[in-house]
Chain A
Amino acid sequence: MMRTLAFVLGGAGAAGLAAVLAFGGSPSAAQQQATPAADSATAPAIIDTGSLKGPRQPIFFRHDIHAGQFKIQCQYCHYSVAVSTEPGIPSMQTCMGCHLVVSGSDSSAKTEIKKVRDAWNAKQPVEWVRVHFLARHAHFPHQRHIKALGPSACTTCHGEVARMPQVFKANNINNMGFCITCHLERKVSRDCSVCHY
């Protein structure tokens, strides 16, 4: 039952860190498949942030550097995606796990990383702007989709986040046709009450 699940993820942080160390140099096959172009690429320097798609965040956190260039797995930060309906957003402690030592190579990175450290020191969490916001009457269990499609299935809905300097909505997740197309292809339930209750 659900009450036993509460403990499953106690050590997720440590496991994730190990994953980074292990896969830092040699991405898994799944990752290659998910982000083929980002395989060997170095994330480009961004000069004009105003032209980037997606909402501007309080810190210019670059998924293309973290997930693309450094190949940190999605689940290192979005730790509960495989066990819960909610994917989880990383705590400030998770950020500081690396950024206690990593302070950035160029001046723009240094500026942004300083914001994280300042927030941590001030004990003020960063207020991210939510990009993907599913309507409240639809329930999307992330764990079921990860179970069925594998740990790199994030791109199916969220797009090539590993190549996004600033995350934007690659698909309109609130368009039910987007869900149904996939459910039709995979011959899985299209019953209304599977998601709407």
Chain B
Amino acid sequence: MSDVSPESGMDRRKFLTVLGASGGGALALSGCSTSRVEKLVPYLVQSEDQIPGVATWYASTCTECAAGCGVHVRTREGRAVKLEGNPEHPVNRGKLCSRGQASLQGLYNPGRVKAPMARGADGRLAEITWDDAIARLAGKLTAAGGKVAVLSGAGRGTFSELLADWTSALGGRLDRWEPFDHEPLRAANRQVFGLDQLPAHDFAGAKYILSFGADFLETWLSPTENQRGFAEAHGFAGGDVAKFVHVGPRRDLTGLNADEWMAVRPGTEAAVALAIANVVAAARGAPAALAGALGNYTPAMAAQETGIPAERIERIAREFAAARPSLAVAGGVGAQHAGATELCAAVNLLNYVAGNVGRTVRFGADLAAGDGFRGLTQLGTAMDDGQVAVLLVHEANPVYALPKAAGFAARLKKVPFKVAISPFLDETAALCDLLLPPHHALERWDDAAPRAGVRSLMQPVMEPVFDTRAAGDILLATAKKAGGALAKFSATTWEAHLRGRWQALAAERKEADADAFWRAALQRGGVFDEPPAPVEVSLAPTAAQVSYTRPAFEGNGAYVFAAYPHAMLHDGRGANKPWLLEVADPVTKITWNSWVEVGPEAARALNVRNGEILRLTSPHGSLEAPAYIHPGLHPDVVAMPLGFGHTEYGAFAQGRGVNALDLLGAPAGEFVAYLSTRVAVEKTGGYRKLASIEGTPRQLGRGIAEAIPLAAARQGLTVAEAYLEEGHGEHEVNTPLEVAALKGWSEKQFQMTRKGDYRRDLPQWGMAIDLARCTGCQACVTACYAENNIPTVGEYDILKGREMTWIRIERYWEGSEAPDAPPSARFVPMLCQHCANAPCEPVCPVYAAYHTADGLNGQVYNRCVGTRYCANNCPYKVRYFNWYKYNEIAWPEPLQLQLNPDVTVRARGVMEKCTFCIQRIRGAQNTARLEDRPIRDGEFTTACAQACPSDAIVFGNIADPDSRVVAIKQNPRGYRVLEDLNTRSAITYLAKVLHPVEG
């Protein structure tokens, strides 16, 4: 890891020219033509930390959400090509979610604003110079006389501090705002514990987890960290599986990972939380202060409110009380209704009486958040009253991310001069008069303080792609130009300001050598102290005021409308990144467009099938989208993902789907209630096929995603033994004689392949995937897209089944669709199984599919003539065909700069599939050979295994008895998918471990 900025000795021109010199695989597969003239353009001065063909890594910080994960950025020849988690970073420990990885597509996004722009006399935006832009801003600020407002989406850090000082010097107001800001959670913490902060949650330590609509695997607080902890608690590590019960009207990805689902009526979770708290308090002895507060909330009362039998609530309450420590979480965006604060307060009490506060709920961590929605309301009033002459919007998009009924766009028009510091021309920027494009996080110096004890650094990993500037430099340049009150900002550059702040930090920490401190921090990715001990928490006087109010929803439609965050698109900021659009929604497996979820009962009542277009009408608007029947939805609810329906925000996002916020009313109070209206649902008679990558929604007895009961797993039974134990007879397909004959024949066939190179003592690459840990989050899928130059094919081709996803997560429904026995889901990552006896290999007429001596199922692109026989013969459906010149259309400029130079970009007519990241294998072999040593176990891993936040995927050499993968493969839960086909696949899956079904 280097702390040298590539800025030294490297300018934009050199960066571009070097691409021609050593672009590796960035060009398309090109036959053997030698007639083409290609230029070799040397550096003027060679940058010392760049060697052509060798990756340079920089530590940085992800800015895609407020969690503040650490990243390592892989650069080749001066451009970033991949993001991975920083193993030393305390938040994410080397793992990274899909959204974080797709940050790369924000950097190279074709929709980025390429230079400063100003609105001319004709009302159009036209490019201007930076000097002009800064002068205009400075002039307007000087003239505004303190009537300045700043709205920023920046997280906590030096930039936020500078922005606050800068704004207050101008006499203006600053609001830091994130659309998903967890306001109810913070309000509840103030009410119950008197603490205005967000605690950290220790999922790993919990023995029983209750989630009241908190989507902690998707957007809630710190998803990558949550997932790591959840996999630890729920992944049958150490012979135990924490039970996880999901309470809420909809099963999101988090809900589908639950062992039990309490399908409560929308908005009634607090009744369950209070009833459970009541039972737990009775079992444990309630604090005197609460005895009266909880007394009224009996399971019977909760049963009345939620529609869940009282016995079931009581059973879960007793289970929860028996587990120590346990963990209850609430406050997810999808369950954010008007009473969300009550719910969070109830869950706070529940954690308190169960003794979890201080153990699994750790105050003092003080996770970063914005200032909440209240500030935005005040800003709106100020805009209405003409108190804002200049509005500066920095990396926030309220025009899109607030319901239209909030009227932010109309208020914006009342402001005489609007400035956007936004990398993209989003809905808010499009209404502004001056556009100042800032550097992407990978192009600038910056830092972030996502929680107490963590100060994470960012550094420019490459030259800026466009004519942009760091937001800090924009502020400082404007200060210099405007003078006056702003003259006190004396730092010449933003980098100097940041260094100054870190010098002060070094002094605070009594570091002897500030420079050494800075370099060490830069190399490590920041300063990471031991997490602070949990703050001692006591109940606030207002704690006993917990209550439950029966939810009321606007309008009189037949269904309650739930707008929930899309796991990939977040609040909509992901909608301009093709990876996030193509990597399907983990629950529905739908890509590229909006849909409406209806429950099976509602679907029967409406007589609707998948893809039939429904019109939803609320008091505030009406939307149309195709239906998807979601078995995990309460009968009273229809649901729709947020994040689609952009009217600006670049070609990928624009005009794609509908914005679910259009059905919501103007937010009142402290937060946006995403679950607040009723809608009337009617069929329009239209139909649009859902662009889903789902094959068959059920396993149909094929044994693809196996599971065994917890008791059997504890006894060390295999999947087959567990079936027998359960009383299922062994399926008899062939007579014993036939079985023996087939086995002998296949064994003989297999032995015949042990010739030549194949007899040699080479590594045999293999993989183990633990389904007890896999949550179906799809970080592996995005990592694969990034590592292997997989083209995104778009909605039209996905409708034709032409997706190229080398690894996909299959989501199989289990159980019936009867309302009393709601189905559960199993997730299974499906990729090339690298069968030792592969069905695809013998059918290839040109030997393009063949078996390598090191145990890979090879695919030689230049041999392939595209007969597609191999795909026809693959029982796992993991081979993908290039139907079009995706190599020319899938990466519009400058997106092609993200391509991994180590991997061939496949041309039209070529079959492709998972290679077990052969470029990483060959790279490790090259390195090991230079150092005259064998490859060490764990020295490298595949992109999917590297990314997996649950650590469910382990890759290694199965010929090495000491390797980690071999140890895992020997687990009795291990099985191979479609083993009876005698494919001898190299991937062993470990069966999911299930709690017994009760109630």
Interface residues of A (CB under 8 A from B): 1-3, 5-10, 13, 55, 80, 83-86, 88-94, 120, 123, 125-130, 133, 135-139, 141-144, 147, 169, 172, 174-175, 189-194, 196-197
Contact = CB atoms under 8 A, between A and B. Distances in A.
Contacts of B922: 139, 141, 194, 197
A125 B44 contact: yes
A193 B45 CA distance: 36
Contacts of B856: 193
B499 to A, nearest CB: 23
A89 B20 CA distance: 12
Contact of A126 (B42, B757, B860, B863): B42
A92 B44 contact: yes
A175 B38 CA distance: 19
Contacts of A93: 43-46
A13 B522 CA distance: 27
Contact of B41 (A8, A55, A125): A125
Given A6-B49, A93-B45, 18 more contacts: A7-B2, A80-B53, A85-B926, A86-B22, A86-B24, A88-B53, A89-B42, A92-B42, A92-B44, A125-B17, A125-B44, A128-B39, A135-B32, A137-B862, A174-B34, A191-B852, A193-B852, A197-B904
B757 to A, nearest CB: 6
Contacts of A172: 34
Contact of A129 (B1, B39, B42, B50): B39
B25 interface: yes
A137 B930 CA distance: 23
B923 interface: yes
Contacts of A9: 51
Contact of A123 (B2, B22, B44): B44
Contact of A91 (B43, B757, B854, B863): B43
Interface in B43-75: 43-46, 48-57, 72
Interface of B: 1-2, 14, 17, 21-22, 24-25, 27-32, 34, 36-46, 48-57, 72, 757, 850, 852-854, 856, 858, 860-863, 902-905, 915, 918-919, 922-924, 926-927, 929-930, 939-940
A80 B853 contact: no
A102 to B, nearest CB: 18
Contacts of A1: 924, 927, 939-940
Given A136-B904, A191-B757, A197-B922, A7 B927 contact: no
B934 to A, nearest CB: 15
Contacts of B860: 192-193, 196
Contacts of A85: 24, 53, 926
Given A2-B927, A129-B39, A7 B918 contact: no
21 contacts: A3-B56, A5-B54, A7-B49, A10-B49, A85-B53, A86-B53, A88-B22, A89-B40, A93-B45, A120-B44, A125-B44, A127-B39, A128-B40, A129-B37, A129-B39, A130-B37, A136-B27, A143-B930, A147-B930, A192-B863, A197-B918
A38 to B, nearest CB: 24
A94 B46 contact: yes
Given A86-B53, A136-B30, A147 B39 contact: no
A88 B636 CA distance: 65
A78 to B, nearest CB: 10
Contacts of A174: 32, 34
B17 A2 contact: no
A88 to B, nearest CB: 5
A3 B34 contact: no
A167 to B, nearest CB: 11
A24 B2 CA distance: 35
Contact of B45 (A5, A92, A189): A92
Contacts of A90: 42
Nearest to A123: B44
Nearest to B862: A137
Contacts of A91: 42-46
Contact of A137 (B29, B41, B853): B29
Contacts of A147: 929-930
Contact of B56 (A6, A136, A169, A189): A6
A136 B41 contact: no
A66 to B, nearest CB: 15
B40 A135 contact: no
Contacts of A189: 757, 853
B918 A193 contact: yes
Nearest to A190: B757
List 10 A-B pairs, minimum CB-CB distance, nearest first.
Answer: A86-B53, A84-B53, A86-B52, A91-B43, A193-B858, A91-B46, A85-B53, A130-B38, A128-B40, A3-B57
A134 to B, nearest CB: 9
Contacts of B24: 85-86, 136
A90 to B, nearest CB: 6
Contacts of A139: 902, 919, 922
Contacts of A6: 2, 49-51, 54-57
A10 B48 CA distance: 6
Most B Cβ at <10 Å: residue of A10, A136, A196? A136
A174 B34 CA distance: 8
